[in-house]
């Protein structure tokens, strides 16, 4: 793990991780049910834009030329005693979807 809760103004990135020259900006969303939509659906276009701005700031401060970047989303759905976790690698890219 490179950073946990990297903050840029009032925005933050939950996790910044790196492996084999690929930096992933990870958004973690948890919900206690899907009545108002699942956790992955909560990462809408507005949230993506905020994540992109924060990631660009991180890259300008810490990035290196030989690194690749991606956004991952981890959704956690808690329904009573049952917990479901879904990790979507490369969920989107800066400027749009993959």
pLDDT digits (tens, 9 = 90+) for 4-25: 888 777 788 999 999 988 999 9
34 has pLDDT over 80: no
Identify the CA nearest to 42 among candidates 50, 54, 19. 50
Percent of the chain at pLDDT > 70 equals 95
Q: For the chain, what are the domain ranges? A: 3-92
Identify the CA nearest to 71 among candidates 31, 98, 44. 98
Residues 6+ apart with CB under 8 A from 43: 27, 29, 51, 73, 91
96 has pLDDT over 70: no
56 has pLDDT over 60: yes
Taking domain 3-92, whether its CATH number is 3.30.1360.170 is answered by: no
């Amino acid at each position: 793990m490179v950073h946990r809760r990297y903050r840029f103004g009032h925005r933050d990135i939950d996790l910044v991780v790196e492996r084999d020259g690929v930096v992933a900006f990870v958004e973690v969303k948890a919900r206690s049910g899907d009545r108002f939509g699942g956790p992955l659906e909560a990462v809408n276009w507005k949230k993506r834009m905020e994540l992109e701005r924060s990631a660009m700031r991180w890259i300008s401060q810490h990035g290196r030329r030989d690194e690749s970047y991606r956004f991952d989303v981890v959704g956690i759905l808690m329904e009573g005693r049952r917990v479901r976790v879904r990790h979507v690698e490369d969920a989107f890219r800066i400027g749009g979807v993959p």
